[in-house]
Structure 1
C-alpha cells in the first residue's frame, strides 16, 4: 500500500509557499526586482540541470525532485510577468468603448510575450525529458500553466472575485480587462475539465504499481485539485487571497490607500451636490454590483465620483465609480469602520439611491 499523505502535504506546502514567496518578492520596492530576477534565473538554471539529472530515474525521491524543478520553472515565468519584465505589447488600460473580439484581442496583447515565453518553456522542458521515464517536471509545469490560463480566461469573461488587490501597481491596467459577473459560460467547462483530470489522476495514483508512479500521480492530482478549488474561489463568497496576506505587503498598503481615499472624499463631500450615508451591516455583493452599474449609467443623477466600503458574509469590499466604470475589490480594513458610501455629483436622487442600497442587505 502506497503512502499518499506525504505527497499531498508536500504539494500543498510547495504550492502555498512558492505562491507566497512570489507575492512577497513582487510587493518589495521595484529597485529590488533586477536582483530578484537574477537570483531566480540562477535558480531556474539549477532546476533545469536537476530536471535532466532526474529524468532517467523512477524513484519516489526523483518524483519529488522533478515536481519541484517544474514548479521552479513555472515560478520563474510568473515572476517575470508580475515584475513587468515579460508582459506584452499592450500596456495601457482597456478603452471603454472596446467590446467583444476587439477587447479579447487587446487582452491577449497585454500578456502576449509572457504566453510565448511560457510556450517556449514548455517545449524546453519537454525536450529535456524527451523519451525519458521521468517527465513529471514537464507535467507539473503544464498543469500550472493550465491553472494560470484557465483563471485568466475566467476573470476576463467575468467572475465575482477578480483579485485586483494582488495586481502590482505597474500592472494595474490589467484590471480594466477583467469583468465582474456572477458567472460566465466558460466557467462550467473549465471547472469540469479540471475535475475530470483530477479524478483520473486520483484513480491512477491508487492503481500505481511503483512508489514513483504513486508519488507522481498523487502530486499532480493534488495540484489539479487545487486548480478546481481555485476555480470555485473565483465565484464563492470567499477571499482566497487571504491565504497569502501575511506574506505580502501589498494588501496592507492597499487597505491603507482605500481608507485614506474614503476619508479624503468624505471631507470633500460637504457640498450641496454631495452625499454620504451608512450601508447595511451585511450586504450581498452581487446586488451592490448591480446598483453600481446603474449609478455609473446615470440612473440616479450625474455622478462624478463614488467610493465606499461594504461588508459581505465573507470579507470587506471596497467599491468605486470613476467616469463610467464601476469597480469592486476585496480588502482587509486596518482600522474598525462602518460600511458606508460617499457620492459626489449633481442632481443626485438620494431617496431612490438609498432605497436601492438598502435592498442590497443580505
Structure 2
C-alpha cells in the first residue's frame, strides 16, 4: 500500500466510483421524491469522514495518508450529495432571465448556489482549524484541491465553454442549465488550466522528493487528484465521451415538474 502507483490507482478509482455512486443515489431520489431523507440517511458518511480526518492528523504512515484522503472525500461527497439532491443549494431556484447580463446575471447565478458555497467554505474552515499544528495535512490538501477545482469549473461553466455535459444535471437543479454558457472559452479557461497545471507540478515535485511513507502515499493521492481536476477542465473543450464512464450504472432519469422541484 506504500506504492505510489497503487495510491494513484486508488485515487482515480475513488473519484470514479464516488462520483457514480452519488449520481446514482441522487437519480434514485429524483424517482422516489426522497431528496431530504436521502441526505439525512447519508449523514453517517459525513460523521465517518470527520472521524477519519481526525484520526489522520497525527498518523505519519501510509494509513494516515489514506485516512486523510478518504475522510476529506467523504466530507466533500456528503456536501455534494446535499447539493445535487437540491437540499443545500441557494435562496433562488429561478431560471436565468434571457435579458440578464453582466453583474445581474452573476448575482442571480450566485443566489442559486449560495448555500452550497457556504457549506463548502465551512468545511474548508473546519479542516483548516482541525489541521492547525497537525503533522499530517493530507485531508486539508485533498479538500483544497477539490475546492479550487470546483470554483474554477463553476466559473468556466458560467462564463462559457464549448462542451457542457447536461446529461447528469439532477431534476431539482435543472434551472442551473440556464446559467451555463455554451460557447467559446473566456479568459477564465486558460487561467484555470494554468493554475491547475501549476498545482499538478507542485504535487508531482513533492511526490518525487518524498522521504516518508505518509509523504509518498499522500502526494501520490494528491497528484492523481490534481491530474483529474486538470482533465475535467480539458474535457470542457475536448470532444471525448466522458459521460460513458457513469451512464451504464445509472437508472433512467425522471422528468420533474416545476411544482415538484
Aligned to 2:83: 81
Aligned to 2:220: 218
Whether the 8 Å contact between 1:166 and 1:250 is mirrored in structure 2 is: no
Residue 19 (structure 1) aligned with residue 29 (structure 2)? no
Aligned to 2:195: 193
> Could you list the per-position Cα deviations for residues 228-269 of structure 1 after superposition, in whole angstroms to 9, with x for gaps in the alignment?
100110011123222111222246x68xxxxxxxxxxxxxxx
Distance in 1, matches of 2:35 and 2:231, equals 30
CA RMSD of aligned residues (A): 1.6
Aligned to 2:93: 91
Aligned to 1:71: 73
Aligned to 2:236: 234
Aligned to 2:34: 32
> Could you list the per-position Cα deviations for residues 62-120 of structure 1 after superposition, in whole angstroms to 9, with x for gaps in the alignment?
10111000000000111111101111112100011111111011111110011011111
> Could you list the per-position Cα deviations for residues 322-353 of structure 1 after superposition, in whole angstroms to 9, with x for gaps in the alignment?
xxxxxxxxxxxxxxxxxxxxxxxxxxxxxxxx
Aligned to 1:268: none
Aligned to 1:6: 6
Distance in 2, matches of 1:250 and 1:212, equals 42
Change (3 A) 1:139 1:224: same
Say which is worse superposed, 123-132 or 108-117, in terms of deviation.
Answer: 123-132
Unaligned runs of 5+ in 1: 255-362
**Selected match of 1:113 from 110, 115, 120:** 115
- Greater helix proportion: 2
> Could you list the per-position Cα deviations for residues 179-238 of structure 1 after superposition, in whole angstroms to 9, with x for gaps in the alignment?
011322110010111011101110110101001101111111110100110011001112
**Which ranges of 4 or more aligned residues in structure 1 deviate by more than 4 Å?**
none
- The 5 A counterparts of 1:1-362 are 3-28=3-28, 29-250=31-252
Distance in 2, matches of 1:165 and 1:243, equals 12
Change (3 A) 1:109 1:30: farther
Give the secondary-structure state (helix, strand or coil) at the position aligned to 2:135: coil
Aligned to 1:339: none
User: How far off its partner does 1:30 sit?
Assistant: 4.2
Whether the 8 Å contact between 2:35 and 2:87 is mirrored in structure 1 is: no
Distance in 2, matches of 1:198 and 1:134, equals 20
Count of aligned positions: 253
Distance in 1, matches of 2:32 and 2:135, equals 42
TM, length-normalised to structure 1 = 0.67
Whether the 8 Å contact between 1:70 and 1:137 is mirrored in structure 2 is: yes
Distance in 2, matches of 1:209 and 1:64, equals 17
Aligned to 1:274: none
Distance in 1, matches of 2:138 and 2:32, equals 34
Distance in 2, matches of 1:208 and 1:118, equals 30
Whether the 8 Å contact between 2:200 and 2:223 is mirrored in structure 1 is: yes
Whether the 8 Å contact between 1:23 and 1:247 is mirrored in structure 2 is: no
Unaligned runs of 5+ in 2: 256-261
Whether the 8 Å contact between 1:44 and 1:73 is mirrored in structure 2 is: yes
Aligned to 2:259: none
Q: Which has the larger radius of gyration?
A: 1
Whether the 8 Å contact between 1:126 and 1:135 is mirrored in structure 2 is: no
Change (3 A) 1:143 1:250: farther
Change (3 A) 1:232 1:107: same
- Greater strand proportion: 1
